[in-house]
């Protein structure tokens, strides 16, 4: 849950302070990376929500617990980042610690999000070994070509995510002409019971790679993942500015022999369907003259469930709740973590739209940024509306007030959410 400060911003801040002290002299060494860097943030986020006791996801969470009309949560988070550079070698580390108090009591998670060694013997060659997020794709809310990454939270896609253990390399070259830059990134990702255990089937060494091209003013990527822990897939993405304030982007992925879960009428997992699938995304980003940024994206998830499949799952949960039959719950493919199950993960269906806008300092109100996000399920016509206000008027402190209201009929994605509404205040301090 860390927003990385871009290197250019750090350089600018450093330069500003140095200029004031050096009477506008210039020294190129000021732009050289420091040998050691350390940063991070600490945050607290209380949440209050009115329970949707008729929702399938509420009934799953409270099936063996005393029902409650409210779902409250307090989350404390600490993220730390550090980098050490010496010669051709650099070491990068990012940790994530989280404590949650809610209806489950107190739960803790302490994770290494990134920890890798980077070697750069030449400006055009680099090698990485360790745990590293790869960040493939051009989409804002979703990335169908992110073959070697954990999924984004479409409602809060800027949150940091845990990487996988990899061995990777980068070769970069620049040219004169229409083809300006080329970068090749081969990658190895092992999956065992102890290493990258959640990537897919263990016992495989997975090979992946990405080819980046800057052709004229178009960013292009071509990527692949070999058959192993996951089925083989290939993809591409692009991004282009049609005007200084208007950008278009897209992604396309072809998945060979994709595994599609099914449910039998008795609520037992059926025989998975194996078939080729495609996923794709098309989006735009536009900034108006008065500093309003608008993002629109359409996402087709070839790995998602159909309306009838998803409705069958919700009906099974309702049957278990009404009859008190825990056996039905035990048969359902839910798993320990609801957000990872085939029918309970975020955005489990096939066609979605994301619309988001924010207005920086409207009417010259300093440090204030109101925003709005709408996530729309085109399959069952349910959606969520999330207005927010961000205030940054205190040094190193960001305050965000955000509400989320799911809207949908019974047996629809957002109609079956555990909350009728949720409101959260996040206070994040950077250091």
The whole-number average pLDDT for the span 291-303 is 97
CB 292 within 8 A of CB 245: no
pLDDT reported for residue 337 = 81
d(CA 371, CA 293): 9
Q: Global pTM? A: 0.89
Q: Where are the alpha helices (DSSP H) in 203-340?
A: 307-323, 326-331
SS3 55: coil
Task: List CB contacts of 401: < 8 A, sequence separation 6 or more.
Answer: 388, 389, 423, 424, 425, 426
Judged against a pLDDT cut of 80, whether residue 11 lies above it is answered with no
pLDDT score of 62 more than 60: yes
pLDDT for the residue numbered 26:
45
Q: Which whole number is the average pLDDT over 112-123?
A: 97
Contact between 214 and 180 (Cβ < 8 Å): yes
What pLDDT sits at residue 31? 54
With 80 as the cut, is the pLDDT of residue 6 above it? no
The pLDDT value given to residue 33:
72
Of 409 and 22, the one with more pLDDT: 409
| Residue whose structure tokens are 């989280």 | 98
* pLDDT of 94 higher than 70: yes
Average pLDDT of the segment spanning 23-48: 78
Give the number of other CB atoms < 10 A from CB of residue 74: 14
Average pLDDT over residues 118-145: 97
Expressed in angstroms, the distance from the first to the final Cα of the chain is 14
The mean per-residue pLDDT over the stretch 29-37 comes to 74
Average pLDDT value for residue range 314-330: 94
How does pLDDT run across 387-400, given as a tens digit for each residue?
999 999 999 999 99
> In the prediction, which pLDDT does 119 show?
98
Report the percentage of the chain scoring pLDDT > 90. 88
């Amino acid at each position: 849950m860390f927003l990385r400060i871009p290197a250019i911003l750090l350089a600018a801040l450093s330069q500003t302070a140095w200029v004031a002290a050096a009477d506008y002299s210039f020294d190129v060494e000021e732009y050289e990376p420091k040998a050691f860097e350390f940063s991070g943030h600490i945050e607290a986020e209380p949440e209050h929500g009115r329970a949707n006791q008729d929702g399938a996801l509420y009934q799953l969470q409270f099936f063996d617990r005393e029902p409650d009309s409210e779902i409250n949560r307090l989350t404390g988070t600490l993220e730390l980042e550090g980098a050490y550079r010496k010669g051709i070698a650099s070491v990068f580390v990012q940790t994530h610690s989280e404590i949650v108090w809610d209806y489950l009591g107190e739960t803790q998670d302490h994770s290494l999000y990134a920890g890798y060694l980077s070697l750069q013997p030449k400006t055009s060659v680099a090698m990485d070994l360790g745990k590293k997020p790869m960040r493939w794709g051009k989409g804002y809310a979703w990335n169908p070509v992110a073959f070697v990454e954990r999924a984004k939270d479409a409602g809060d896609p800027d949150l940091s995510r845990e990487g996988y253990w990899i061995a990777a390399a980068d070769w970069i070259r620049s040219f004169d002409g229409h083809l300006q830059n080329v970068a090749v990134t081969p990658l190895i990702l092992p999956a065992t019971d102890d290493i990258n255990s959640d990537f897919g089937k263990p016992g495989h060494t997975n090979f992946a790679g990405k080819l980046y091209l800057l052709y004229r003013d178009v960013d292009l990527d071509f990527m692949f993942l070999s058959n192993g822990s996951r089925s083989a897939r290939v993809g591409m993405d692009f991004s282009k500015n049609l005007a200084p304030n208007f950008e278009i982007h897209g992604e396309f992925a072809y998945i060979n022999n994709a595994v599609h879960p099914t449910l039998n009428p008795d609520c037992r997992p059926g025989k998975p369907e194996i078939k080729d699938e495609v996923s794709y995304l098309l989006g735009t980003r536009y900034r108006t003259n008065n500093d309003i940024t608008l993002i629109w994206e359409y996402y087709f998830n070839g790995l998602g469930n159909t309306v009838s499949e998803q409705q069958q799952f919700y009906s099974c949960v309702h049957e278990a709740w009404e009859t008190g039959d825990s056996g039905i719950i035990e048969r359902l493919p839910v798993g320990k973590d609801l957000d990872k199950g085939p029918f309970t993960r975020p955005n489990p269906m096939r066609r979605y739209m994301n619309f988001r806008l924010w207005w920086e300092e409207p009417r010259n109100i300093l440090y204030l940024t109101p925003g709005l996000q709408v996530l729309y399920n085109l399959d069952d016509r349910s959606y969520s509306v999330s207005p927010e206000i961000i205030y940054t008027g205190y040094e190193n402190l960001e305050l965000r007030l955000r509400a989320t209201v799911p809207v949908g009929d019974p047996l629809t994605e957002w109609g079956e959410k555990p909350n009728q509404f949720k409101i959260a205040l996040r206070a994040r301090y950077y250091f």
